Structure 1
Amino acid sequence: MGDLESIKVFLAVAEQRSFVAAARALSMTPPSVTRSVNALEARLGVQLLLRTTRQVSLTSAGAAYALRVAPLVQGLDDATEDLRDGQSQTAGLIRINAPMSMGERVLPDVISQFRTLHPRVSVALTLTDRLIDVVAEQTDLAIRISEPPRDKLTIWRKICRVPRLLVAAPRYLDAQGTPAAPEDLLHHTCIAYDAGAGPEVWDLAAGATRRRITAGRVLSSNNGDLTARLAVNGEGIALLPRFIVAEALATGRLRAVLPGWSPPELWLTLTYPPYDRLPTRLATFSDFFETYVTETRPM
């Protein structure tokens, strides 16, 4: 038993004036209480308690020691309780990082609605399309559209699938022709959506059939909304998440291309630093975010 625990046992005996009563209050056995106080006295080299068959009382040194350490122990207990209370309340700062398109299209409503319910939460939001190190960049929560992370030290949570599809503007297809098979894409301008604004490999599947196409030989960008705008402008064919192009598809500014062919599955995920226990504010926000993107505004 450490010094702090032994001091707490000593104070309990001093308050109860009984080893047995202190043991009962601390849910310990009387011999354990006796050993703890004896060990503390041995480490201090001072007798703290007078023991008789009828009662236990403080020595003068014990009284002086109890007077000094009792406020310190109480302060530590109060600090621990305050910390636990803070962790159990939906309050405090949440530092969030998200992709640009997700941040601009989805997060304003999510954050506004969440803060209406939990006004004691503050949010610091940064947007970037690159994968970040949540620990090195001091981020509480990273929202990502990707495959599962390879970093085994972080915590990650799958939220939902993010459908993607090939799209192009009607005027582009009218001028260049509508592809009937993935091989036809070799003769089209395929706009890459790549974190480094470089070429992008499109792995497409129809049942057991697989095809691989390289996009970005002519045009590429590292932002989904920019890629979508290039496609709307008739610059070529793009492979994008549905939530980015849903409005353009609904209004006819974009059309689906090769609808029978699908790219690899991507997931919307939440990534956290390696907490032993997720703080309440993060757990509550994560649940709210999941409900929003799966029920209120499905991806």
Structure 2
Amino acid sequence: MKNAHQLKGGDLFAFTVFLAIATRRSFRGAATELDITPSAVSHSVKALEQRLGIRLFNRTTRSVSLTEAGERLAAKLRPAVSAIEEAMREVDDLRQVPSGTVRINASEGAIRMILRPILARFLRTYPQIHLEIVSDGRLSNIVAEGFDAGIRLAEAVPQDMVAVPLIDSVRFAAVASPAYLAARGRPASPQDLHSHDCIRFRFESGAIYNWEFERHGSVEKINVAGPLTLTDQPLMVDAAIDGIGIAFVPDHLVTDALRDGRLERVLEDWCPPFPGLCLYYPGHRHVSVGLRALIAMIKAGRSSSRPIP
């Protein structure tokens, strides 16, 4: 007698769809991730539920959540599907020409600094690779969300990841326009920022960034206030140039504005360098030939362009 739960053709697709919905808590989000139609997602889930004889999702017009059965199935399927994908990647690496999709999760600043300078050359060199880059300020779990690697500040890389240093150190700069400083004066210490208009940064998580300063071993974290809060650092630079207030941003974003005098540094001796950017990936996962090629080109580009700060 045949096993009622013997795998059939199309099961891997159904499990992949199921896990995409379970991760994103969205049928439409899963359809976008898998590049299929929402109706195909719904049909796949309906067929899987009918076959198993149990509901896997609680669905309303506003939310999607897993049932207890769905939670149990997802917990069992994730490592199994991950192992299958890993096996496929290893076989794919036997090709002479790198191919397939490489998914990278990174902050906007990391994308601009690390990936943008090499994108065109990488895609010309490896035309069979599809590179998917997601700008994300939430410090996402790259394993749970299906990314091959992430790029973050070294201090934000989870301890169970393999980290590849890309930039030894980075530095933040507190900057303001000459007109603002002429009208409001220059802060002499981080505490003076409480009497200034500051341009605040909000993470995608909703948290407001507290500005961090250090000098001679003394650390100051300031919850600044001001008339403007943004989620985009280049817009913070523009706002500072327009005289709205003081911005605190990675210094590579203000190089040109400092050079031509549109901005000036303040509290410079309170802004030391700190550990820089790393590309990181799970240590237990096979590193695809496509990801290895990307890492090699990034490192070659960094070493040939300018000295690492």
Task: Work out whether the TM-score is over 0.5.
Answer: yes
Q: 3-state DSSP class of the match of 1:235?
A: coil
In structure 1, distance between residues paired with 2:285 and 2:146: 16
1:224 aligns with 2:252: no
1:280 aligned partner = 289
- Are the counterparts in 2 of residues 198 and 216 from structure 1 also a CA contact under 8 Å? no
- Are the counterparts in 1 of residues 89 and 288 from structure 2 also a CA contact under 8 Å? no
Which moves more between the two structures, 250-259 or 208-217?
A: 208-217
Q: 3-state DSSP class of the match of 2:223?
A: strand
1:33 aligned partner = none
Calculate percent identity across the aligned residue pairs. 28
Amino acid in structure 2 at the alignment position of 1:159: L
The structure 1 residue matched to 2:161, chosen from 151, 154, 157, is 154
- Are the counterparts in 2 of residues 166 and 256 from structure 1 also a CA contact under 8 Å? yes
When residues 90 and 112 of structure 1 are mapped into structure 2, their CA distance, relative to the original with a 3 A threshold, is: same
- Are the counterparts in 1 of residues 150 and 279 from structure 2 also a CA contact under 8 Å? yes
The structure 1 residue matched to 2:136, chosen from 96, 117, 128, is 128
In structure 1, distance between residues paired with 2:152 and 2:295: 13
How many angstroms does 1:80 deviate by?
11
The structure 1 residue matched to 2:102, chosen from 70, 94, 98, is 94
2:60 aligned partner = none
In structure 1, distance between residues paired with 2:300 and 2:263: 29
In structure 1, distance between residues paired with 2:115 and 2:92: 29
Listed as ranges, the matches of 1:171-182 within 5 Å are 171-182=179-190
1:64 aligned partner = none
When residues 81 and 156 of structure 1 are mapped into structure 2, their CA distance, relative to the original with a 3 A threshold, is: closer
Aligned length: 219
In structure 2, distance between residues paired with 1:102 and 1:81: 28
Q: 3-state DSSP class of the match of 2:94?
A: helix
When residues 242 and 209 of structure 1 are mapped into structure 2, their CA distance, relative to the original with a 3 A threshold, is: same
In structure 2, distance between residues paired with 1:127 and 1:119: 22
> What's the CA shift string for 1:137-180, capped at 9, x where partnerless?
21112222352323x44333222122211111111111111112
Q: 3-state DSSP class of the match of 2:194?
A: helix
1:199 aligns with 2:226: no
The structure 2 residue matched to 1:142, chosen from 150, 161, 167, is 150
Structure 1, unaligned stretches of length 5 or more? 1-78
Listed as ranges, the matches of 1:235-274 within 5 Å are 235-262=244-271, 265-274=274-283
When residues 158 and 104 of structure 1 are mapped into structure 2, their CA distance, relative to the original with a 3 A threshold, is: closer
Q: 3-state DSSP class of the match of 1:137?
A: coil
In structure 1, distance between residues paired with 2:253 and 2:172: 9
How many angstroms does 1:282 deviate by?
0.8
2:221 aligned partner = 212
Q: 3-state DSSP class of the match of 2:166?
A: strand
In structure 2, distance between residues paired with 1:265 and 1:81: 37
1:116 aligned partner = 124
* TM-score normalized with structure 1 length: 0.64
How many angstroms does 1:279 deviate by?
1.6
- Are the counterparts in 2 of residues 198 and 221 from structure 1 also a CA contact under 8 Å? no
Q: 3-state DSSP class of the match of 2:183?
A: helix
When residues 295 and 186 of structure 1 are mapped into structure 2, their CA distance, relative to the original with a 3 A threshold, is: farther
**Larger Rg over CA atoms:** 1
In structure 2, distance between residues paired with 1:133 and 1:184: 37
Q: 3-state DSSP class of the match of 2:270?
A: coil
CA-based RMSD: 2.8
Structure 2, unaligned stretches of length 5 or more? 1-87
How many angstroms does 1:190 deviate by?
2.1
When residues 125 and 84 of structure 1 are mapped into structure 2, their CA distance, relative to the original with a 3 A threshold, is: closer
Q: 3-state DSSP class of the match of 1:131?
A: coil
When residues 293 and 171 of structure 1 are mapped into structure 2, their CA distance, relative to the original with a 3 A threshold, is: farther
In structure 2, distance between residues paired with 1:80 and 1:279: 6
In structure 2, distance between residues paired with 1:258 and 1:157: 31
